[in-house]
Amino acid sequence: MFTLAIRRDDWSLHRKGAIDQARHMEKVKEAIKRNLADIVSEQSIVTADGKRLVRIPIRVLEEYRFRFDPEAGRQVGQGTGETKVGDVVGRSGRRGDRGMGPQAGDEPGIDYYEAELTIDELGELIFEDLALPNLEPKRLRELQSETVRFTDIRKHGPFANLDKRRTLRENLRRNARRGWPRIGDFANEDLRFKTWERDVKHESNAVVIAMMDVSGSMGTFEKYVARAFYYWMVRFLRTKYDRVEIRFIAHHAEAKEVSEEEFFTRGESGGTRASTAYELTLRMIRERYPPDSWNIYPFHFSDGDNWPSDNERCRELVEELLACVNLFGYGEIRQGRYAYQSTLMHTLQRIGHPKLVTVTISDKTDVYHALRRFFGPELEQEVARA
Amino acid sequence: MREMTPSLVRELERRIERIWDIGQQLGLRPLPVHFEIVPATVMYEIGAYGLPGRFSHWTHGKAYQVQKTLYDYGLSKIYELVINGNPCYAFLLETNTLLQNTLVAAHVMAHADFFAKNAYFAETRRDMLDIAALHAERIEQYEFTHGKLEVERLLDAVLAIQEHVDPSATEAAGPPPAPQVSRASSPYDDLWRLDQRPGGQQGPEESLARRTSLTPNEPVRDLLWFIHEYSPVLDDWERDVVAIVRAEMLYFLPQIRTKVLNEGWATLWHARILHELDLPLDEHIEFARLHAAVLQPAGRRINPYLLGWELLCDIERRYGFETLFLVREVESDVSLVRNYLTEELVERLDLYLYERRGDEFVVVDKDWEAVRDRLTNELGGNHIPVIVVEDGDYAGNRELYLRHIWDGRPLDLPWAEKTLEHVYRLWGRRVWLETREPEGNESLVLSFHPREGHRRHS
């Protein structure tokens, strides 16, 4: 006995797979968030442009179970003929250390998961709760930026706003429903129009002044960390704020303003006088960013190897700066045998001002912590209390 | 791009009738089959979930995503999918060509015959499709009552040990063999009876029964069952989730145990039946290509279609057509390989043993007996370590003591530790796992409790 029937159901409302897939992606993002400190300092990401996809190995989503050690023992394989003892029949999926823990990506096969995200998506995760701390409304030139955003699609509207692509798609869809999957025979119900909203943002002016030590004592690691920090900071500011100006200052024994590109690529050498950068910042503020109309955020990254005779001058200048800025951030990169505090750090910390925030970086993963220290919600509270 | 237009569907229907005629004449006795034409997304969903309408969990979503990605990049395509049941449900991809779906239908017929006749399927639930839908409904209800996250965490834990059921236990045969309980484990047990309160709500007798059976005389293979029965912490609804996962696992287990034989059987028959169909020449060429693709070695990995097909062809050559039917009735993958894999076949299939050396996988042995012995360790569910319950009242403290039955293969210890955390979620007391050091000589006991973390006792 057998029965036979061919059926064809409408599965268009069937979405379970997609829903569970979405939950899976949510878990992937949670996993990524737990590993942000490692990912933020990832060289391949910092040097990439925003369009690129980054592949992030995730081990958290493995479905743990009792299993035999896949690395141990022998397994049965199958060749296409004439395989001999000693033949190499494959390579393991082990990759170089990607900064994701000791066993990153050593597992060939299905249990090893790599998430693919664009840098923008990654940025969203990193910047989620970051903000410019202590932002104040300022008197002058208070910006009312008005932007038009096309946010919605409707079935009626002026023809100038016709969304041609969607209209074609609707037409095709309707025809397909009638069993004629072609474009043509347009009807009113196919038409789709874009509509927009006016976005009015009240925003205070803000300027971030990024200072970086490019002297000879800054080694590869130090430069890398400073740039990684600024890379994410710039990205963060551009993502979250439409109207933030960013100026770049590179200094060794003297300071000068440089373009963004130069800032991120050029190497220099020579001795270090941090005071020159602070002087330039003060001049910039006096000439272009009067504190009564600007929120000002100077940041400085250095290895702290400053000329000892310069430290006192630095202290005076930073105190002067603190009187007119919203936050002054100083990041010091100390590694290995230099992992004690420099005299510059010591000098600055003695100032003990609530708007002066310092951070010491001795490991790549500290870049993320520095971002959180300067822009995270905890700081906002600290400054508010002060 | 729909290949299966209404007129092609009618043609396919005609062909399936022919296929059934031919198959029956040749001796196949399949369960009734319902065919359904579906879009790719539905195909991947069913492939990922194992059954249509099965409960929601992110691991299913992960499998779905993998399937979908492979399809989107043109790397892999599920051609056929058939659900064991009465009737069986077979899914045909709407983007398949007529010939592809013809071949799938013949393949499906042989699977339906295998489900009906193979001994390991004798006790499977043929109404699992409906049962699974009811399971999904209950789990959804629990999500509503206890919160999605709570249910998800529970499922995370249960699924981590879902493979550890007793393969000989089936739903149809009633509850699994109860662990043999020593009711007289101490000479003074009978004294308790003196204390019995007539009509008491839970007299000492009952609690004694519960206590003694926590320590089975024989190790219990069915970890899920033991947890379902004796976990000191699970609520009723949580026990139900354990039972659901266990029931579904028992349904899938025969398929895991007969993968090679079942696929070999279906491949043998789709080839034979399609030869009997009078296909036009161009379709005949398409068939030859497709059949060759199915039997393509999979680059180091064992292709179950190829292995099963070669074994069955060899059996027919050596023992005749009738023996094929006997084999499909009584063998599993392990017994098939154990009884019928020969030196010539190992040679012809170019099977070998390899191991990892540094970053490379290197062939280390071609001895056919070594290959055969190792193969039986990988097939038919033998890739799952055997873990038994030794004691559910360990240290007199209702701790759970598990033992890994050592067969020379070391456990993945970091994974075992992670899995123990899941077991703890289900047991709520300290959990133990006895195994051996990777070298195999020294005994090694792992334990986990959240307060003290993971410990290793030598």
A244-257 b/e with 16+ CB inside 10 Å = b?
bebbbbbbbbebeb
- What are A28's two structure tokens? 């992937």
Q: Which amino acid is at A102?
A: P
Across the interface, do A17 and B48 touch by the CB < 8 Å criterion?
yes
Cβ(A263)–Cβ(A302) under 8 Å? Answer: no
Question: Which residues of chain B lie closer than 8 angstroms to A68, CB-CB?
Answer: 383, 385, 409-412
Instruction: Give the list of residues 6+ apart from residue A307 with CB closer than 8 angstroms, or none.
Output: A253, A271, A272, A273
A162-190 b/e with 16+ CB inside 10 Å = b?
ebeeebeebbbeebeeeeeeeeeeeeeeb
Nearest C-alpha in A relative to B384 = A67
pLDDT of residue B159: 97
Across the interface, do A91 and B45 touch by the CB < 8 Å criterion?
no
Cβ(A57)–Cβ(A98) under 8 Å? Answer: yes
Q: What is the rounded (10 degree) CA torsion for B221, B224, B225, B227? A: 110
Selected for mutation to probe chain B from A68, A91, A95 (highest B CB count within 10 Å) is A68
H/E stretch holding B428 reads none
DSSP, residue by residue, B106-128: HHHHHHHHHHHH-GGGTTS-TTH
Residues 63-102 (A) with a CB less than 8 A from some CB of B: 63-92, 94
Instruction: Say if B277 is an interface residue toward chain A (CB within 8 Å).
Output: no
Nearest to B374 among A71, A74, A88 (CB): A74
Calculate the average pLDDT of chain B.
Answer: 87
pLDDT of residue B85: 94
Residues 188-227 (B) with a CB less than 8 A from some CB of A: none
DSSP state for residue A202 in the 8-state scheme: E
Side-chain-side CA neighbours of B280 within 13 Å: the count stands at 4
Question: How far away is chain A from the Cα of B74, in angstroms, using its nearest Cα?
Answer: 18
Query: Would you say residue B399 has pLDDT above 70?
Result: yes
Strand order through the sheet with B33-38? A4-7, B33-38, B88-93, B80-83
Instruction: Say if A184 is an interface residue toward chain B (CB within 8 Å).
Output: no
Cβ(B273)–Cβ(B107) under 8 Å? Answer: no
pLDDT of residue A299: 93
Asked which of A340-349, A373-382, B34-43, B50-59 is least confident by mean pLDDT, the reply is A373-382
Beta bridge partners of B301: B298
Determine how many CB atoms are found less than 10 A away from the CB of residue B183.
11
Cβ(A101)–Cβ(A39) under 8 Å? Answer: no
Burial class (CB in 10 A: 0-12, 13-18, 19+), A328: buried
Strand order through the sheet with A356-361? A255-258, A244-251, A206-213, A295-302, A328-333, A356-361
Instruction: Say if A172 is an interface residue toward chain B (CB within 8 Å).
Output: no
Beta bridge partners of B313: none
d(CA B293, CA B295): 5
State pLDDT tens for residues B77-133: 777 899 999 999 999 988 889 999 999 999 999 999 999 999 999 888 999 999 999
C-alpha dist (Å) from residue B190 to B9, B186, B238:
72, 9, 34
State pLDDT tens for residues B312-325: 999 999 999 999 99
Beta bridge partners of B48: none
Question: Which residues of chain B lie closer than 8 angstroms to A22, CB-CB?
Answer: 61
Query: Would you say residue B412 has pLDDT above 80?
Result: yes
Instruction: Say if A23 is an interface residue toward chain B (CB within 8 Å).
Output: yes
Nearest C-alpha in B relative to A107 = B359
Q: Which of A131, A115, A111, A101 is nearest to A32 (CA)?
A: A115
H/E stretch holding B77 reads none
Q: What is the rounded (10 degree) CA torsion for B164, B166, B169, B175? A: -70
State pLDDT tens for residues B123-175: 889 999 999 999 999 999 999 999 999 999 999 999 999 999 988 765 334 44
Q: Which of B391, B410, B428, B413 is nearest to B220 (CA)?
A: B391
pLDDT of residue B43: 87
Question: Which residues of chain B lie closer than 8 angstroms to A67, CB-CB?
Answer: 383-385, 411-412, 415
- What are A248's two structure tokens? 């770049």
Size of interface A-B (CB pairs under 8 A): 227
Instruction: Say if B135 is an interface residue toward chain A (CB within 8 Å).
Output: no
Across the interface, do B351 and A17 touch by the CB < 8 Å criterion?
no
Instruction: Say if B61 is an interface residue toward chain A (CB within 8 Å).
Output: yes
Query: Would you say residue B207 has pLDDT above 70?
Result: no
Q: Which of B393, B390, B395, B387 is nearest to B209 (CA)?
A: B393
Angle at the Cα of B89 from the Cα atoms of A109 and B288, rounded to 5 degrees: 65
Structure ipTM: 0.86
- Residue B248 or A220, more confident: B248
Nearest to A4 among B16, B60, B300 (CB): B16
d(CA B53, CA B154): 20
Across the interface, do B41 and A17 touch by the CB < 8 Å criterion?
yes
Across the interface, do A89 and B354 touch by the CB < 8 Å criterion?
yes
Q: Which of B155, B117, B69 is nearest to B261 (CA)?
A: B117
Question: Which residues of chain A lie closer than 8 angstroms to B344, CB-CB?
Answer: none
Q: What is the C-alpha R_g of chain B? A: 25
Instruction: Say if B40 is an interface residue toward chain A (CB within 8 Å).
Output: no
Question: Which residues of chain A lie closer than 8 angstroms to B408, CB-CB?
Answer: 73
Longest alpha-carbon distance in chain B: 86
Q: Print pLDDT tens along chain A (386 aa).
A: 445 567 777 666 567 888 888 888 888 778 777 777 776 666 666 555 555 566 665 544 778 999 998 877 888 888 888 888 888 887 765 433 332 222 333 333 333 456 666 777 777 777 777 777 777 766 545 445 556 667 778 888 888 888 888 899 889 888 888 888 888 888 888 888 887 776 655 556 788 999 999 888 888 888 888 888 888 888 888 777 777 888 999 998 888 899 888 888 877 778 888 899 999 999 999 998 888 888 889 999 998 888 888 888 999 999 999 998 988 999 988 876 555 667 788 888 888 888 888 888 888 888 888 888 888 876 655 555 54
Query: Would you say residue B206 has pLDDT above 70?
Result: no
**CA A232 to chain centroid:** 5
Cβ(B62)–Cβ(A19) under 8 Å? Answer: no
Residues 163-182 (B) with a CB less than 8 A from some CB of A: 163-164
State pLDDT tens for residues B9-31: 889 999 999 999 999 999 999 99
Instruction: Say if B113 is an interface residue toward chain A (CB within 8 Å).
Output: no
Nearest to A73 among B16, B60, B355 (CB): B355
Beta bridge partners of A144: A202
**By three-state DSSP, how is residue A343 classified?**
helix
**By three-state DSSP, how is residue B265 classified?**
helix
Nearest C-alpha in B relative to A22 = B61
pTM, rounded to two decimals:
0.71
Question: Which residues of chain A lie closer than 8 angstroms to B24, CB-CB?
Answer: 2
Side-chain-side CA neighbours of A203 within 13 Å: the count stands at 18
